[in-house]
Amino acid sequence: MISLIDELNACDGWNTALANQHDLLARLDAWLLDEEKEAQILPERGLRLRALHQTPLTSVKVVITGQDPYPGVERSVPHAMGLSFSVPRGIKPPRSLVNIYKELAADCGLVPPSHGDLSAWASRGVLMLNSTLTLRQGEAASHAKKGWEAFTQAVLKQVNNQPQPVVFLAWGRHSHKLIETIDEQRHCVIRTSHPSPLGATKAGNGFEAFLGSRCFSRANDFLASKGRQGIDWCGL
């Protein structure tokens, strides 16, 4: 059985930076063991810290924050794969991801792929992090306020403390709250509405509508202004 500490120990840079989170992860693991006796927990063990595993701490250029994993399962394949907004190949892209592709097409010329796997972004420096990293199958937000949020904040604190400037794409009010402590004197925060069909076109106080925001090219413009290479958003 792969524990959360085992997963963290395999995450380049994060294993040292987050060593003080071992007690919290051990408590979460003990609680998840009980949860696993009663329900299918998503994503499966070995994928729960995938965002950290695929994007080493010193490689982070962009952070995309989500709320919690997808709760669905299709043909025995869980939608949750450990990366916010991403689903495995063979799974129809969810509606929020369809809008993400729509904005990428308008902003960067993306030809929308037939799949929803965003793993390529992770390897290029995009940390795709949910605030809660597990849930019960079919039950959205079922693991909210169980301890994951403290771990997520510890992750974001480490990114905030990095000497290299980073872009935070905060989509929706939940993400706006999640990144409140980010140092905007050094880093770039782009706040928009959530890309879901209910919010993608709606601006609000202090944020713009997701569709039409050009957040992807703006992220690359900021990185270039700081001497960092931008993200190849279209190579999926």
The yes-or-no answer on residue 232 being catalytic is: no
- The angle, 0 to 180 degrees and rounded to 10, between the axes of the packed helices 95-108 and 215-225 is 60
Tokens 């919690």 — which residue? Answer: 68
* Segment (H or E) for 170: strand 167-171
**What is the Cα 79 distance to its own chain's centre?**
14
Tokens 């795709």 — which residue? Answer: 128
Cβ(56)–Cβ(17) under 8 Å? no
* Segment (H or E) for 66: strand 62-66
CA distance readout (Å), 180 to 4, 23, 42:
26, 25, 27
* Burial (CB count within 10 angstroms: exposed 0-12, middle 13-18, buried 19+), residue 155: buried
Catalytic one of 68, 107, 117, 221: 68
Residues with active-site annotation: 68
